[in-house]
Structure 1
């Protein structure tokens, strides 16, 4: 009976938004922020997801409304979202508006002081997916630091979190801090990017040399309309080349861990993060071959026949299988079946724990040890709970929308 009630509650959680008013990202609420941009020189952190009404780029709209955009800053994957994961992106000019685009995923990761000399107000509007190792929140943090250092006000235009209806995973430990995880939050942290920005500033989770400037720093977060953490939000634009659909976005928090192993995580296939495997796994498993394609020019195990698993299904089915939790079954099964267990995780043998990319994704060394010792999923999940509970106490202070709990 208890399981039946839980299933009914979970179903209601996701049926409710179908009858609700359309969720409006903050970028569409012009009356809330255009007065703050009037007669100001603007720099905007944006990419291909910075759209209004599902398809029109905000930069084009703001230019038509007379907003003076001095420059555009762009994150990983570039302003148009075409670059591969990890591919360095050069500066360029936006052909539509003639505005200079400065890449923050190339020679530098944050605006330099000279980049902001002719800027009065900074704006941030990027669609995130609510997962710690998705690098847009790291870019947000460094953008905030640049604004604080320059003494410039920042406006964050909030967007819904498509994975904002649960919290799960290990909390990052400080020694494992990197660009794929910079703060002590779980893998799935259940906050919009605007709420996360408020937490970064409120908890002083930025460069300690800037703490003395925080009192004078002004950050305005414009909220979404008609959104709660119970909402089911389908992205109008894929956030990056290898998250092409909602099924991939729902699986990503669980299957991105394969990036830290020798297995293919599905890049170079039609369903990245929904297909994973290796040539040395049993040949009676799902068969696939990663190939070069847009967004994955050199995928792991390119042109090699792999055997593994596919979880590619309709988003509605994926939601039921994810069930508001990280799913470790495939990672555990892959390790159990992989013949060369010493080489399952990428990294040199006997390297320091912080040198393993898997540990950077996990935010600790414990998960790798738990997989190696073949602990049960329930035991692994139990080890996360104290950190999750501490994080929830912090998170609660910065929520802007009705929570899922």
Structure 2
């Protein structure tokens, strides 16, 4: 049988048409499956993003442009070698601080440091009865360490209000354990009590509640900076109506290889059983930071116009960083009564320490401290000098 070319062409087209009609649903079905798989993948990605924003992010900014949350935990172990009295040891300090900062607007910000502290103070450290030099019972404390708001006008002026670190010297302004080589601050900042984490008002207070003006200016690579403030000290030794005012000027060379600062403060401190003492305090500090070598030094003195003697303190602290290790030494002297020589008010510390960074956010410390007193014996003829070892770890986030 012969088929005409037209018939063959028609049948060929018909077969192709039927084949196309058969394959079209299969292709559409496969394409639909692919689309559904892609939609499922997008849904999974959206779910993962949602979980990251809810389960893994601790806070959400409501009315602020930015909200930061951080903190650290520190554990210390201290042993004192008391010479003529029993040696003492204690896991004397567990400190957790929660740090929160927020940019409310492009010019307004705030910062809060809330502490959760379990602490056994070393009491009677400088007293005249060495038998009573011991760790006190552990106390639970939840101090509002820092709480301030700030408005930035320009680089020459920002105003801080609330509770802030007194802008005096070097180490007091550093303050936070994650950056401290030695957890025990210089003696003038801690009321001559190694266990007193938040210090006192021996010469100048660590913290003030009030208002502070600050500004800085660059002249090429050189920087000048100032602080001016007025406030109240909320610890013992000062009344709620006793204002403390002061100022700080500082300058820095390029790359802050050398920094020098000058401080002045005027205030009132209450003296138990005596009239209040008006005082003027002044100080100078210097910092050298060059190729792993760091030197910090401060000197300060107060003129007490009242019942107490004039006060003086100074320290020098060189350190060297190599890799994950930091080696340091601090020579620290204080005399809280310059009007009387060879009395119990003069004390010297020699601190030998090493830090090791297990991780960039985990700092291990080991320190050996020689505590030496100008008045060698207590009221019972026992040696007042003692040594102590302190081990600590700080983990920050």
Shorter-chain TM-score: which interval?
Answer: under 0.3
TM-score normalized with structure 1 length: 0.24
From the two aligned structures, give the one with the greater strand fraction.
2
| More relative contact order, 1 or 2 (CA 8 Å, 6+ apart) | 1
Q: Which is richer in helix?
A: 1
Higher-Rg member (1/2):
2
With the length of structure 2 as denominator, give the TM-score of the two structures: 0.24
